[in-house]
Amino acid sequence: MTKKKTLTEEDDALLVELGVEVEVKKAVKHTPREERIIAGFEEIQKFVEDHGKLPEHGEEKDIFERLYAVRLDQIRKLDECRELVQPMDYQNLLDAGATLNIETEATLNDEELLAQLGLEDQENSITKLKHVKTRAEKRAAEEIANRTACEDFEQFKPLFEAVKRDMFDGLRPTIRFRKDAGFTKTTLGREQFIIVGGQIAYIAEVGETIKAPNGEDDARLRVIYANGTESNILLRSLIRAMYKDETSRFITGANSGPLFSGENSADDQESGTIYVLRSLSNHPAIKESRDIVHKIGVTGGEVQKRVVNAKNDPTFLLAEVEIVATYKLANINRVKLEQIIHKVLSPARLDIEMKDRFGKPVKAKEWFLVPIFIIDELVEILKQGRLRDYYYDPKSAELKQR
């Protein structure tokens, strides 16, 4: 029985007969991190192709352009990243001094423009364009673009600042807006934050329900954007714009409630403990301020087991410790919570360096110069889900609202 050749094998055989050397390419395997770097660089390349310019920094730029600008800076800065994406850099993006030389449509004649688009100058070819927007898409895009200055933006500015902080801290994850994921027009409502057209937007008002031409319910919205503009857009138009925008997303609520409850219910899942420790070290800096030097951390295990080897661990200042207080957690991400606590108390972080048993210097980062009553107050604010709105002032030894 003769084995049937594949199309690739036949092609290769034909090339050999024609005297063309066939180069066998080995599949290159990348680590997950390298794949993320490559995917990120491809997104930058697509932005450049779509906009004809490099992504730029600046408050007036949309969130995605600023993200691409930061990402490009990092790739240029790190040698391993530059080497990884160098072979695919057909736009010369890795050259920090490069500028794009892209002709505008106004400088091209019809034949040149069709060539740029990859089309031949054939009769009726214009009717075969695959990416011409429908009338409905154009209406949605026009309504999104038809924005005016928001005269009372100062009223909404703190909301956007809080949302950005929450997103940065990981308290407000975003969800991609996808039609095939079951999202419908009922998902959008008053006081909803979304990302559309690269801007964070807030649905401030929803008007009375009206009937769309196809008989479905619709409503006029007042949508405020993070750049200080607003639009009076129809609900269905906003949804259409989000469907067509591959980067549009929902911004979820901040934990959908308090960070943790004072009382546990049957449905709660215990997720760890906040612990406060006091060092028994004889280090002069510790002895001098022992009553206000505290280590604050979050663990998923037993605190006693966590500190059993404290005297051999630089994290615990190579000394025994005293457990001052513990607070049980339920239904919460321990890692993110610890990051938030440490961020709030960062102005009072203890700057101390210890040497491990090999003589290597180690910085202990979880020790803070804060009295215990401040930690009790911090936990109470945590229970109300408001800690992200506070910062610690070491001069007055107070937790102050932003």
Residues in the chain: 402
Q: Which residues fall within 8 angstroms of residue 277, CB to CB, at 6 or more apart? A: 294, 295, 296, 297, 307, 316, 321, 322, 323, 324
Confirm if 63 and 199 have CB atoms less than 8 A apart: yes
User: Taken in order 160, 165, 167, 171, is the CA torsion positive or negative?
Assistant: negative
d(CA 161, CA 152): 15
Q: Which of 342, 338, 303 is nearest to 323 (CA)?
A: 303
> Which range, of 64-73, 110-119, 140-149, 328-337, averages the lowest pLDDT?
110-119
Give the confidence band of 98 by pLDDT, cuts at 50, 70, 90. Answer: low
Comparing 19 with 6, the larger pLDDT belongs to 19
Q: Residue 262 has what pLDDT?
A: 42
Residue 12 neighbours by CB distance under 10 Å: 15
Q: Tell me what pLDDT residue 153 has.
A: 92
Contacts of 278 (CB under 8 A, 6+ apart): 290, 291, 293, 294, 295, 321, 322, 324
Q: What is the pLDDT of residue 277?
A: 93
CA distance 140 to 244: 9
237 has a pLDDT exceeding 50: yes
User: Tokens 């993110």 appear where?
Assistant: 336
**Strand pairing class (148-149; 217-225):** unpaired
List the chain domain ranges.
28-119, 137-251, 270-401
Please give the pLDDT value at position 8: 52
Q: Which of 91-100, 220-229, 376-385 has the lowest mean pLDDT?
A: 91-100
216 or 263, higher pLDDT:
216
Say yes or no to pLDDT of 190 above 50.
Answer: yes
Beta-sheet pairing, 249-251 with 174-176: antiparallel
Q: How far apart are CA 199 and CA 211, in angstroms?
A: 28
The residue ranking higher by pLDDT, 109 or 350, is: 350
pLDDT of residue 18: 59
Q: What is the pLDDT of residue 145?
A: 53
Separation between Cα atoms, residue 201 and residue 229, nearest integer Å: 10
- How far apart CA 243 and CA 257 sit, in angstroms, is 29
pTM, two decimal places: 0.39
Could you give the 3-state DSSP secondary structure of residue 299?
strand
The residue with greater pLDDT, 131 or 279, is 279
Is a pLDDT exceeding 60 seen at residue 120?
Answer: no
* DSSP element (H, E) containing 295: strand 293-299
Give the model's confidence band at 115: pLDDT under 50 very low, under 70 low, under 90 confident, else very high.
very low
Confidence of residue 26 (pLDDT cuts 50, 70, 90): low
Q: Which two tokens stand for residue 39?
A: 């995917």
DSSP state of 349: B
- Written as one letter, the residue type at 25 is K
Q: How far apart are CA 39 and CA 153, in angstroms?
A: 36
Give the pLDDT confidence of 303-339 residue by residue, as tens digits. 888 888 888 888 888 889 999 988 887 656 677 788 8
Hey, which of 9-13, 79-83, 133-137 has the most confident mean pLDDT?
A: 79-83
DSSP string, 242-292: HHH-TT-EEE--STTS-SS-SS--TT--EEEEEEEEEE----HHHHHTGGG
CA 372 to CA 276: how far, in whole Å? 9
pLDDT reading at 259 higher than 90: no
What pLDDT does 2 receive? Answer: 44
Question: For position 330, what pLDDT does the model report?
Answer: 67
Which of 330, 144, 129 lies closest to 231 in space, CA to CA? 144
In the chain, the amino acid numbered 313 is D
pLDDT, mean of residues 260-288: 70
In this structure, what token pair is assigned to residue 346?
Answer: 């960062």
| Spatial separation of the C-alpha atoms in residues 347 and 394, rounded to whole Å | 7
* Strand partners for 326: 275
Query: What is the average pLDDT score of the chain?
Result: 75
CA distance linking residue 152 with residue 257, whole number of Å? 28
